[in-house]
Structure 1
Amino acid sequence: MKKKGHTPITRVKNPEPHISDPDWIIWAAWADRITFEEIEQKTGKTEGEVIKIMRHSIKPVSFRLWRKRVNQKSIKHRKKFEYSRKEITSKIKKNDYL
Structure 2
Amino acid sequence: MKLPELDLETIDRVIEMAWEDRTPFEAIEKQFGLEEQQVITLMRREMKPSSFRMWRERVEGRNTKHLHKREFVAGRFKSDNQKT
Note whether the superposition's TM-score is higher than 0.5. yes
Q: Which runs of 5+ in 1 are unaligned?
A: 1-19, 86-98
In structure 1, the residue matched to 2:14 is 25
What percentage of residue pairs aligned between the two structures are identical?
45
Q: Which runs of 5+ in 2 are unaligned?
A: 1-8, 73-84
Q: 1:61 aligns with which of 37, 50, 60?
A: 50
SS at match of 1:40: helix
Structure 1 segments of 4+ aligned residues over 3 angstroms from their partners:
none
Pick 1 or 2: higher relative contact order, CA cutoff 8 A, min separation 6. 2
| Aligned-partner Cα distance in 2 for 1:21–1:40 | 13
Q: Which has the larger radius of gyration?
A: 1
- What is the aligned-residue RMSD (CA, Å)? 1.3
**1:44 equivalenced with 2:33 (yes/no):** yes
* TM value normalised by structure 1: 0.61
* TM value normalised by structure 2: 0.70
Deviation at residue 33 of structure 1 after TM alignment: 1.7
Task: Look up the equivalent residue of 2:53 and give its one-letter code.
Answer: R
How many residues are aligned here?
64
| Aligned-partner Cα distance in 2 for 1:38–1:72 | 17
